[in-house]
Amino acid sequence: MIRVDLDVMLARRKMSMTELSNRVGITMANLSILKTGKAKAVRFSTLEAICRALSCQPGDILIYEEGGTQP
């Protein structure tokens, strides 16, 4: 299972979900779906924008967990 770990990077960058939403150009609802692990896919352009806004690498927010199941 791939887990999206936005909370950690947001805390490290002292950034709110609202600020990230505004910087990336993604709605709060869609960002919340991604953050809670309910998203089935993410576009590379969205991932790139999130990484640019948080000054991080995809591996900083996408975590692989063996044996996990999607919610």
CATH code of the domain covering residue 31: 1.10.260.40
Number of domains in the chain: 1
- Asked, for residue 71, whether it belongs to a domain, the answer is no
pTM here is 0.86
pLDDT at 68 over 80: no
Pairs from 22-25 (Cβ < 8 Å, separation ≥ 24):
23/49, 23/53, 24/49, 24/50, 24/53, 25/49
Residue 45 structural domain: 2-64
Tens-digit pLDDT profile for residues 14-56: 999 999 999 999 999 999 999 888 999 999 999 999 999 999 9
- Asked, for residue 24, whether it belongs to a domain, the answer is yes
pLDDT at 71 over 60: no
